[in-house]
Amino acid sequence: MRAARLHGIGDIRVSDEPRTEAGPETSLVRVAAVGLCGSDLHWFGEGGIGDAGLVQPLVLGHEFAGVVEGGELDGRRVAVDPAIPCLSCRECFEGNHNLCTRIRFAGHGRQDGGLREYVAWPTRLLHPLPDVISDAGGAMLEPLGVAIHAHDLGHVRAGTSVAVVGCGPIGLLLIQVARAAGATTIVAVDPLPHRQRAAKRYGADVVVASASADEVDVTFEVAGNDDAVHTSMQLVRPGGRVVLAGIPDSDATTFPASLARRKGLTLTLVRRMKATYPRAIQLVERGLVDVESLVTARYPLDQTAEAFASASAREGLKVVIQ
């Protein structure tokens, strides 16, 4: 089978490898579509993310969907939950699988991800797709799941106002989730004109390149830099909540303590997602969230390096490898 492996910073190679095979409690998935995420770009551009670094040539890709070959789901199109929790630690027993300290995550550390023709994955983590969701749309369910989890952490109630700072794919999905959940006012902040246009198209009421003050109830920071965190704190009302979903380049986030303290803000950080696939599928199936139109560029597996270059340029919205 063909597989794309990251060998070092900016060094991704596609080559032939022995085909992986399914084992006990796993299914063989023929991968159909893989979305490139901002965290994949960290691996590609920096050789790691946060405190995790490249320890061996790694197959990236954690947003993916495909078709099962063999077993109980034979022939079914599925979205793949990329997180494999241990199911035996305190966090798992408490239902916080996303916080499992022994979790294995596709395209991270020593766990190969979806940028290969075949993947053997736990059957319990495969979610059948309805016909109305394409393969690329199935890959987009993972970032939608992150947006749903971030929205949950924001404790957003119907009739409240929110701001989304950073309108990449997850930010744009957050706008749609907030609209579907009954937010009355949605402020979108992003310096890139094409993302501003997309934010308006997906339901933002106010779209600006920068902002200094407002009175929204909850802000979602999805840019991964200190300016975005500062802006998020400025936008939210006193006593409000700031949800930090962005991943910084340097594994450090700083903000004006006096501003956060004076406003009495609650800060919440997002760790991937938490059992959101069924909800994500329903939101897309019922037309409440549009994932399909977020895909603005598609590449074959053999052009993975070109796909990463395109995604790094941030000229479109979502790059998918098929």
Place of tokens 């992986």: 20
Phi, psi of 4 (to 5 degrees): -105, 120
Q: Is the pLDDT of residue 211 over 90?
A: no
The answer to whether 199 and 207 have CB atoms below 8 angstroms apart is yes
Q: How sure is the predictor about 214, in pLDDT bands with cuts at 50, 70 and 90?
A: confident
The answer to whether 193 and 208 have CB atoms below 8 angstroms apart is no
Q: Is the pLDDT of residue 140 over 80?
A: yes
Q: Model-level pTM?
A: 0.95
Q: What is the pLDDT of residues 225-239, one digit of tens each?
A: 999 999 999 999 999
Place of tokens 């084992």: 23
Q: Is the pLDDT of residue 174 over 90?
A: yes
Q: How sure is the predictor about 284, in pLDDT bands with cuts at 50, 70 and 90?
A: very high
Closest CA to 33 of 294, 316, 275: 294
Long-range interactions of 36-40: CB distance < 8 A, separation 24+: 36/61, 36/63, 36/307, 36/308, 36/311, 36/318, 36/319, 36/320, 36/321, 37/62, 37/63, 37/142, 37/143, 37/169, 38/168, 38/170, 38/224, 38/247, 39/247, 40/107, 40/308, 40/311
Q: What is the pLDDT of residues 42-64, one digit of tens each?
A: 999 999 888 888 999 999 999 99
* pLDDT value, residue 122: 98
Average pLDDT of the segment spanning 293-318: 95
As a whole number of angstroms, the distance between CA 215 and CA 219 comes to: 10
Domains and their CATH numbers in the chain: 2-140+291-321 (3.90.180.10), 145-269 (3.40.50.720)
What residues does 126 pair with on adjacent strands? 80
Q: Is the pLDDT of residue 164 over 80?
A: yes
* pLDDT value, residue 250: 82
